[in-house]
A and B are shown apart, each in its own frame.
Chain A
Amino acid sequence: CSRSGIYIDNGFDQTAIERTMTRDEKREMELEILSLLGLPKRPRTISKNPLKRSAPRFLLDIYKTLMDADNEDDQRAKRSVDVYLSGEEQNQIDESDIIMTFESANDHVPNVRHERGKRLWFNASDVPVAEDVVGAELRIYKGNGKDMKNVDAVYTITVYQLIKTDEGDKELEYISATNVTAGFTGWISLNLTRCLATWVAFPNLNKGLYLSVHPVSRPGHEVRPEDIGVVTVKAEDEQQPFMVAFLRAANNIKPR
């Protein structure tokens, strides 16, 4: 019955409690709860249908997985989530207190020395400096490519970090790589832990990533990611690339 959002079972009539709570008191209690949850103020307005996008959907799947794990009565067989998690990812989820996702923005990095690869940039400024980085990964979707003559052909997807040298030039620093066949469809994850740790400690060094694809048989021959179906930019909402960060909360609780 209450519109305050707070329901207590203390033997008193709920409506009587509502009458005694003024608007200011309700607001104060809301702020207390927000503060307790580490949310001192609400974020900006959120766009419509945000759950269609890949990053929120990924985290919602992890949330449901966690709920299943917490609720021992509901066995995992009941899970409606279709999220594939590797053993390493499962460990990272177990170890972390905070999991954040970041959608890519492509328009941030100026002229970069590249030919056919794609640039990706993630705004990691919201990551609290005090938190420990357990891990981070880039998740990109690979669909069917244009040239599907040989589905068994193997390609290497490499991710580089853009760095600025002492001379002011932009260079590529190898971060991680993985091999996929041309016929593979699904999500690919690449380890970005080292990148994120740098970006959190030194936000100004975040110049983004460079994604490069080449056939295993011809290392010097770079192809466009979209040629083998790798989705980078101008993607459907549910196939947008994103970065996941696994963080462990520091034990310095602020006095209130």
Chain B
Amino acid sequence: VTRETRTKKDTFNSVMTGYSKVKNERQDLRRSCRIETLYINFKDLSWTDWIIAPDGYPAFYCAGECNFPLNAHMNATNHAIVQTLVHLMNPLRFPKPCCAPTRLNPISVLYYLDDHNVILKKYKKMVVKSCGCH
């Protein structure tokens, strides 16, 4: 009886562990390094009377963790693997690799300085195109 109970308990634990594992994997997947949406709509901010173009600023951002194995993440650098190993050896002292933009695009904004003069300004590296572990 004791043995059976233990078996049932083990089975229950095994099922629960499996459930937790799936849940954790989902969380990990959700928390892994990836590009996320951040959009600033100039129209909703009532800026379109003086910002001629564009309609908004699609900034995006990178968020999530860089956990081992790194090949599950997008665009991990070789050195991110080294950083991960260092982190695994001493997690409290050395941080994990960072989830950061790997490719950034410029954005141009066309707006009025005043009633007569107009300006077109280029901003370098303002829009995230891809993220990765560094």
Contacts and interface: CB of A to CB of B under 8 A. Distances in A.
Given A5-B56, A38-B121, A102-B117, 10 more contacts: A7-B39, A9-B38, A10-B36, A33-B57, A37-B123, A44-B115, A66-B108, A98-B120, A101-B119, A103-B116
Contacts of B108: 63, 66-67
Interface of B is mostly: strand
A39 B37 CA distance: 24
The interface size bin for chain A is 35 or more
Contact of B118 (A42, A59, A96, A123): A59
A247 B59 CA distance: 25
Contacts of B37: 7-9
A59 to B, nearest CB: 5
B38 A60 contact: no
B44 interface: yes
B42 A126 contact: no
A7 B38 contact: yes
B113 A8 contact: no
A165 interface: no
B16 interface: no
A11 interface: yes
B57 to A, nearest CB: 7
Contacts of A38: 121
- Across the A-B interface, give the 7 residue pairs with the lowest CB-CB distance, nearest first: A9-B37, A5-B44, A5-B45, A7-B39, A99-B120, A103-B116, A5-B41
Contact of A97 (B44, B111, B121): B121
Interface stretch (A49-57, A106-114, A185-193): A49-57
A20 interface: no
B113 A100 contact: yes
A71 to B, nearest CB: 9
Contacts of B122: 66, 96-98
